[in-house]
Amino acid sequence: FAFDYAPAPESRSVVDIAPSYGLFIDGEFTEAADGKVFKTLSPSTEEVLSEVAQAGAEDVDRAVRAARKAFGKWSALPGTERAKYLFRIARIIQERSRELAVLETLDNGKPIRETRDADLPLVAAHFFYYAGWADKLGHAGYGPDPRPLGVAGQIIPWNFPLLMLAWKIAPALATGNTVVLKPAETTPLSALFFADICRQAGLPKGVVNILTGYGDAGSALVAHPDVNKVAFTGSTAVGKDIARRIAGTDKRATLELGGKGANIVFDDAPVDQAVEGIVTGIFFNQGQVCCAGSRLLVQESVHDEVLDALKRRLTTLRLGDPLDKNTDIGAINSAQQLARITALAETGEAEGAERWTAPCELPSSGYWFAPTLFTGVSQAHTIARDEIFGPVLSVLTFRTPDEAVAKANNSQYGLSAGIWTEKGSRILAVAGKLRAGVVWANTFNKFDPTSPFGGYKESGHGREGGRHGLEAYLDV
């Protein structure tokens, strides 16, 4: 069941995927109590990559008990000791980042250029960053002796499997909590690889437990009476369900849910730079990003110029084999997600928006969706309101800064926004009025472990990242 972590000779493939993997409970890989397994596919070829144990309620109980048993000693360790483990994990991630990047690309479908240059460096950076906090919690502004909450039940999605794991596990461990984490059913492999890294780092048994499985395992984790904190990233519907279910219990929760980010381009913005930002905003990770800039708000006077430049740029994007380092657009993560994107794009057309698709050939197997723009979109259109979570941009226009702000804020969500302008004073004035957890200026989808991330409104609550991310795992 375990990964072989002997360094791979250069001649060998960088990652060997075994035919089957177990759950990681109390420091060991083990079968599910009822012996159930499920398959994980490569979204770019639909080939089966591996079979993975499918956790049920009994496994959740085993894992939570292991985490509880480990909590006493782990939380009592001096921060300097916990830091050593986190630094060690961060360094092993760096050393094995090539294997991890390939594995993530195979299981998720995203381009290797992104896993190699964005996901993996950020994953290591999160562990380094929170390792640095482990012995400084008394100086974080929460009093001299903030306490860990206990066992954290963490449920993550498939769009950034390893990065979401890092966002959840690094601060939890730094603050002295122990963890039971459930990766998404379509992307279980990098979390299991991470379990192996925990073993390699000598992390005490039970501090991190990984349960691969479906929503029912996540649901059992939320319901488990010995879980003190739930950290969830995923759909708004499941997030709301979790909030309802833990209401009236003593569990704490952070919820990071959907988004419909506005990317606002003013008429004084350098067009080429803005176009790059629009592309990064919505086509990075095939648009499967909660903070994607999925609504382009462009000032009316430059609409045609920006759209012409954008279309020209989109014709240069290369869609195809995610393992090819020249690929810009990889596969959609699952058949189900592709169906969701397809249905919403069809709704866009049916409601009268004008559809434009970048000319590209889609591979014959796997899950693919070509970069798509909708112009003539009004605020009443479904594609201006609902999260599509795919490579689909809805273009709206505005005349004045106030109108831009009003349109940007006209959303049930409030996760991200972007502003493109040469005027610094305008950046500050507009950013202050936007109801979004993160506002980027003249850039988009830029992440840093030192800054807090999280939503307003139905995008959820709580912050991950930065000093604020510690608070989610501490009694202060």
- Site residues (CB under 6 A) for ligand TXE? 155-157, 159, 182, 184-185, 214-215, 218-219, 222, 233-235, 238, 241, 256-258, 290, 337, 340, 387, 389
Quote the CA–CA distance of 290 and 396 in Å, as a whole number: 20
User: Hey, how many other C-beta atoms are within 10 angstroms of the C-beta on 132?
Assistant: 16
Quote the CA–CA distance of 444 and 394 in Å, as a whole number: 16
Please say which residue, 109 or 218, places its beta carbon nearer to ligand TXE: 218
Quote the CA–CA distance of 170 and 130 in Å, as a whole number: 6
Task: For residue 388, give the amino acid letter.
Answer: I
As measured in angstroms, the least distance from the Cβ of 221 to ligand TXE is 7
Specify whether the backbone of 248 is left (phi greater than 0), alpha (psi in -120 to 50) or beta: left
Three-state secondary-structure class, residue 291: coil
As measured in angstroms, the least distance from the Cβ of 397 to ligand TXE is 25
Please say which residue, 59 or 185, places its beta carbon nearer to ligand TXE: 185
As measured in angstroms, the least distance from the Cβ of 235 to ligand TXE is 3
Strands 392-398, 178-182: pairing is unpaired
Note whether 293 and 262 are within 8 A (CB).
Answer: yes
As measured in angstroms, the least distance from the Cβ of 106 to ligand TXE is 19
> How many residues are there in the chain?
476
Quote the CA–CA distance of 45 and 202 in Å, as a whole number: 36
As measured in angstroms, the least distance from the Cβ of 31 to ligand TXE is 20
Residue found by looking up tokens 């460096």 in the block: 121
Quote the CA–CA distance of 274 and 271 in Å, as a whole number: 5
Note whether 151 and 228 are within 8 A (CB).
Answer: yes
Please say which residue, 290 or 296, places its beta carbon nearer to ligand TXE: 290
Note whether 35 and 28 are within 8 A (CB).
Answer: no
Residue found by looking up tokens 């058949």 in the block: 335
Q: What's the sign of the alpha-carbon dihedral 387, 390, 392, 395?
A: positive
* Annotation says 291 is catalytic: no
CA 47 to the chain's CA centroid: 24
As measured in angstroms, the least distance from the Cβ of 36 to ligand TXE is 15
Note whether 302 and 361 are within 8 A (CB).
Answer: no
As measured in angstroms, the least distance from the Cβ of 84 to ligand TXE is 30
Give the burial class of 50: count Cβ atoms within 10 A of its Cβ; 0-12 exposed, 13-18 middle, 19 or more buried. Answer: buried
Q: Which two tokens stand for residue 56?
A: 């049920």
Residue found by looking up tokens 């990964």 in the block: 3
Residue found by looking up tokens 């960088």 in the block: 14
Residue of 99, 290, 291, 458 with catalytic role: 290
Residue of 256, 387, 458, 471 with catalytic role: 256
Note whether 4 and 200 are within 8 A (CB).
Answer: no
* Annotation says 290 is catalytic: yes
State the maximum Cα–Cα separation within the chain, in Å, rounded to a whole number.
63
As measured in angstroms, the least distance from the Cβ of 126 to ligand TXE is 16
Note whether 210 and 23 are within 8 A (CB).
Answer: yes
Strands 460-461, 416-420: pairing is unpaired
Please say which residue, 5 or 447, places its beta carbon nearer to ligand TXE: 447
As measured in angstroms, the least distance from the Cβ of 58 to ligand TXE is 17
Active-site residue list: 256, 290
